[in-house]
Amino acid sequence: MRIGAIVHGAEAIDSGFALKTITMLKKFGEVSSCLGGSMGRTAVIDHSLENMIDIRHRERPSIALQRMIDEGCDVACLVNHGKTLETGILFAELVLGRIKTKDVPVLLIEGAGAIGCTSSCGELTESLASSMKLPVYPFNAKKTVEYGKNHIVRHIKGVLPGELVQINGTIIGRARSPEITVITDNSVITDIKGCDVKVHGLEKLKQVDLANAVIRSGTPRHRVANTRQIGSLKNMVAVLINHDAESSFEKAKNACVAVTIGDDTTAVAADILYRLSTPVIGITDGDKDWLLEHTHITRGRDN
């Protein structure tokens, strides 16, 4: 059996759940695993798992899952560890709603305490549930987007009040409700409900494809882990990273220095690029939201 495993998020890796799950899946067949999302890369590197979990691609979990299906796996697995069981289930059902191919069974393994499958892989589901001591839960694909003539409404559920909210990597406010609603008219955000909006952040988002935007809440990494540097081949190139810290791996992998704009952008980009031993010059103005608290930065040269 060919099993494709998509690991999402740093928590699945930092908690040891991803390694445990992949090891368990190998008892049932040949496993190919990759990362879905961006911020789990630092965790994969810190835990020396890059030879087990492919981090070469920057893909949304649904796209990575679809790719595994298209490449011919017999079973596709989404491995996640949500903040709570509710948020983990909501995330899995949102990802399921974006999958086009329904012929291949999708196994959903949630570290917060649930396992389920979309179709005929009951034996595998039951065996894994028994081995991992997880209850079987009936996952169902869900849609969170409503389409009007010129406007789009998107609902984000499972949010913890007080969490920072990002759209495409830009902080746009702080949640005050478990559900946030974002509305666009002709691709311009006209209203955000359930969130104390950060106007300066919202101004950076000129046009937004709301249906496909990456919207998340909370910090990208909760645990403090032993960090690890792997370095990279450097060219005499400097790159600019402007309010899109999650693109740091792609933009600055082979750069000798990265110039970053924004307090949280600088903090997150510097922490990511620390793994590649890439120094950062940050342009900040003191309005840091503390998206990521425990950060590292590559030391610059003294001469």
- The CA distance from 278 to 177, in Å, is 38
State the amino acid at position 234 in one-letter form: K
For residues 49 and 10, the answer to whether their CB atoms sit within 8 Å is no
* pLDDT of 197 strictly over 60: yes
CA atoms of 239 and 137, how far apart (whole Å): 46
Q: Is the pLDDT at 302 greater than 60, yes or no? A: no
Average pLDDT estimate for 194-200:
94
Neighbours of 250 (CB within 10 A): 12
Distances (CA, A) of 51 to 32, 35, 44, 56: 11, 12, 9, 11
The 8-class DSSP code of residue 122 comes to H
Residue 234's pLDDT band (boundaries 50, 70, 90)?
confident
Q: What is the DSSP string of 228-250?
A: --------S-EEEEES-GGGHHH
Q: What is the pLDDT of residue 231?
A: 81
Q: Bridge-partner residues for 240, per DSSP?
A: 259
Tell me: pLDDT of 72 over 50. Answer: yes
CA distance 253 to 282: 17
Average pLDDT over the chain reads 90
Q: How far is the C-alpha of 51 from the C-alpha of 67, rounded, in Å?
A: 19
Bridge partners (DSSP) of residue 175 are: 195
List strand residue ranges (DSSP E) for 61-150, in order: 75-80, 106-110, 114-117, 145-147
pTM: 0.90
Summarize pLDDT for 85-136 with one digit per residue, the tens: 989 999 999 999 888 876 888 999 999 999 988 876 778 898 999 999 999 9
Angle at which helices 17-25 and 122-132 cross, to 10° = 130
| Domains along the chain with CATH numbers | 2-132 (3.40.50), 145-217 (no CATH), 229-303 (no CATH)
Mean pLDDT to the nearest integer, 48-72: 94
